[in-house]
Amino acid sequence: MRPGRGRLRGALADASLRARVMAAAAILIALTSLVSGFLGTALLSSYLYSRSDAQLRDFAKVASSILERSHVPVTQNGQLPAQFLVESVGPDGTILTQEAPPHSAAGPRLSAAQLRDDNSPFTVPASGSPGQSWRVLIVPLSGGRHAVIGFSLDGLNSTVTRLEIADALAGAIAIAVLAVVGLPLVRASLAPLGRIETTAQAIADGDLSRRIDQPSRGTEVGRLADALDLMLGRIETAYQARAEGEARALESEDRMRQFVADASHELRTPLTSVKGLAEFGLQQGHAASPDELLRLMTLIQREASRMGRLVEDLLLLAKFDTDRSLDRRHVDLSSIAAQAVQAARIVNPDRPITLLAGDPVIAYADTGRLRQVIDNLIGNAMQHTPPGSAVTVSVTSTTGHGEIIVADDGPGMTPEQAARVFERFYRTDGARSRARGGAGLGLSIAASLAAAHGGDITVDTKPGQGAAFHVRLPLAASVESET
């Protein structure tokens, strides 16, 4: 590639789109003017030469016949026009007679070889006059003489030159008109691209909500804007989904770390107790009385049972984190609630536990898991309320859902405590002993089981006004209609 051409392409690449469009239009106009001027000049020149040659041949026939009969100049006889050059040249090249048109500065300059060319007209330069030329036809005469018939091309060349100048002026005027009229039109047409550029820059700076001002949908720029808006919407959605996924992944990772730390801490307490009791028993050896050994074994059994319940709860939560398959069937929420209340009354005969249930409320649920939810809620109510506080279990139904409510008249919870009450290992009373309060997994298990059934669990509580846990489950009719 030539260096000059490479620099031109580099300059066009660096220029703005507006400048490139204008440059391309100017080049096209210049090329069009050049081609049209060249073709027009060529056609006109060909036409004028063809007409001149025809006149030259016609005049040569008459002039040669006259020169054969007489040496008198042909135009002086008054028989032929005077715009032609007529020469009679002898065999040795000497001009015998000559008659030139008026205002003709010099005749044609001919060589000996050209004098013998008697086929067709040809162009020769004027003798002693640079820039002038003649159209000449050689006609042989008797006696070795030749008739030189010429036609000055000054007028023809002047006409062609004026046409070339006119074409050049027309091309220059067209380019000037393009600059005056075309530039504002191009600027107006490319204005939407400027808005697209501004929007793209804003998006590159981080504002993914920006969109392009919609121009007319019937234009290429309008369709481009529509396509870019669609693309930007999808990019924003994908970016938000990715950001939310990363946030959820970080949150899940943090929760897993906290879960593992809490589980380790909860397991370490009974393990430490079992280890300490076992070491104490070994130290006593045979000196320990049977009553002392029985007391140590009872304590070890109690800590082992506590650790076993904790492990079972952890395994249950892990199972529902990965697989929420349930053994579902049509069950009556009122019957399950009645069974849970009856079992709680047997374990806590001094606690007033009331059941409020009317007509059967049929849900599509796992009987064992649903019973576990109610047991956990009743156990939570009895554990966190003073002795003798009342607990009420209600079963109602609304449109498409059944609801189980476990309420107590205990001390209640603050809004901060209520917001975290379903978190794993969370305790509303951090000062109470772990032996009395448990691991803090009961409500987490209840929430996971409710979610596995397609329902949810919420709490309605205020300090000093007790707490009411609401379990909402879809009724069997609703589940069947969806499937």
Domain residue extents for the chain: 3-175, 324-482
115 contacts 138 by C-beta, under 8 angstroms:
yes
Between CA 31 and CA 24 the distance in angstroms is 10
Task: Give 318 or 434, the one with higher predicted confidence.
Answer: 318
Q: Angle of helix 220-284 relative to helix 290-322, nearest 10 degrees?
A: 170
pLDDT digits (tens, 9 = 90+) for 412-421: 888 888 888 8
Least confident of 152-156, 378-382, 426-430, 461-465: 426-430
Spacing of C-alpha 195 from chain mean position: 16
pLDDT, tens digit, 9 for 90 and up, residues 227-268: 777 887 888 788 888 888 777 777 666 666 656 665 665 566
Options 3.40.190.10, 1.10.287.470, 3.30.565.10, 3.30.460.10; CATH for 324-482 is 3.30.565.10
The arithmetic mean of pLDDT across residues 454-483, rounded, is 84
**For range 139-156, the mean pLDDT:** 82
**Three-class SS of 176-222:** HHHHHHHHHHHHHHCHHHHHHHHHHHHHHCCCCCCCCCCCCCCCHHH
DSSP bridge pairs for 456 = 472
Lowest-confidence range among 56-65, 76-85, 418-427, 457-466? Answer: 76-85
Specify whether the backbone of 206 is left (phi greater than 0), alpha (psi in -120 to 50) or beta: left
- 128 pLDDT higher than 70: no
Q: Residue 145: which of 69, 248, 39, 242 has the closest Cα?
A: 69
